[in-house]
């Protein structure tokens, strides 16, 4: 129920944002700029590849890029045939998105298998295509997302709701008691899942756990 679930929706803004993204997606000069910025953000990461833009052959209606073939990210048989480590590929996919969302706040909005491929380089290199649909977080939203990730990891229902408010997903002044109760339920399920996979940090001292947490936030760009 949109009147009672605490979500802060503005349908007019959603419509306007969708229209803006649609027209940006068919502007190839804009897509070239997006691809260049995305590439710059990952220039120190050898296992992320962005096709090089041929700037002399770019206009609003023409986009010319380097040809970079790869295997669709969901073509499991071909990935295994080429000997690419699926676990490593999955970890790198997650890390690349956390980097986009939490460190730079500039991210690929259309990550279907036609837009992400891989090859054998560097043990499993991710190849991103199609930069027409990108978006950007405000600094406050980006920091709120980092807070959200760590509050979930720490099983902190109140912190989760605070982070959602900071991101303007949860409306300020909503029924926090009910929302926090729901958050505790889902966080409890998440913690059970984590423990089922083994908890490598349960034997750490409090200071060791704090240091690991600081290191993780630093890795996310906080």
DSSP string computed for the chain: -TTTS-B---HHHHHHHHHHHHHHHT-HHHHHHHHHHHHHHTTT-TTEE-PPB-GGG--SS---B-----EETT-HHHHHHTT--HHHHHHHHHHHHHIIIIII-EEES--STTTEEEESGGGSEEEE---SSEEE--HHHHHHHHHHHHHHHTT-HHHHHHHHHHTTSBPTTS-HHHHHHHHHHHHHHHHHHHHHT--TTTTS-HHHHHHHHHHHHHHTT-
What pLDDT shows up at residue 75?
Answer: 98
Residue 103 in contact with residue 220, Cβ under 8 Å?
yes
| The one catalytic residue among 75, 110, 135, 154 | 110
Instruction: Flag whether pLDDT at 202 surpasses 70.
Output: no
Mean pLDDT of 81-103: 96
Question: Parallel, antiparallel, or unpaired: how do β-strands 125-128 and 116-119 relate?
Answer: antiparallel
Active site residue 110: yes
Write the pLDDT tens digit of every residue in 148-199. 999 998 899 999 999 999 999 898 887 888 999 999 999 998 888 877 655 5
pLDDT band of residue 212 (cuts 50, 70, 90) is: confident
What pLDDT shows up at residue 7?
Answer: 61
> Bridge-partner residues for 48, per DSSP?
126
Write the pLDDT tens digit of every residue in 25-75. 789 999 999 999 999 999 999 999 999 999 999 999 999 999 999 999 999
Residue 129 in contact with residue 115, Cβ under 8 Å?
yes
Write the pLDDT tens digit of every residue in 107-132. 999 999 999 999 999 999 999 999 99
What pLDDT shows up at residue 12?
Answer: 85
Tell me the domain boundaries of the chain.
Answer: 11-136, 139-219
Specify the pTM. Answer: 0.79
Instruction: Flag whether pLDDT at 3 surpasses 90.
Output: no
């Amino acid at each position: 129920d949109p009147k009672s679930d605490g979500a802060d929706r503005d349908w007019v803004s959603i419509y306007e944002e969708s229209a803006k993204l649609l027209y940006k997606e068919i502007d190839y000069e804009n897509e070239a700029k997006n691809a260049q910025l995305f590439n710059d953000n990952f220039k120190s990461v050898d296992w992320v590849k962005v096709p090089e833009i041929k700037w002399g052959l770019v206009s609003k209606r023409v986009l010319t890029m380097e040809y970079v073939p790869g295997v669709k990210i969901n073509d499991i048989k071909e990935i295994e045939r080429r000997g690419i480590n699926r676990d490593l590929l999955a970890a790198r996919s997650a890390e690349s998105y956390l980097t986009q969302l939490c460190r730079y706040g500039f991210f690929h909005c259309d990550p279907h298998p036609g837009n992400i491929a891989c090859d054998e380089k560097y043990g499993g290199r991710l190849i991103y295509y199609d930069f027409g649909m990108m978006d950007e977080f405000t600094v406050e939203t980006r920091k709120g997302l980092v807070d959200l990730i760590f509050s979930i990891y720490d099983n902190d229902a109140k912190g989760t709701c605070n982070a959602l408010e900071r991101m303007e997903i949860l409306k300020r002044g909503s029924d926090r008691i009910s929302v926090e109760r729901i958050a505790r339920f889902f966080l409890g399920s998440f913690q059970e899942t984590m423990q089922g996979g083994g908890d490598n940090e349960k034997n750490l001292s409090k200071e060791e756990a704090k240091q690991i947490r600081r290191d993780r936030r630093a890795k996310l760009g906080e």
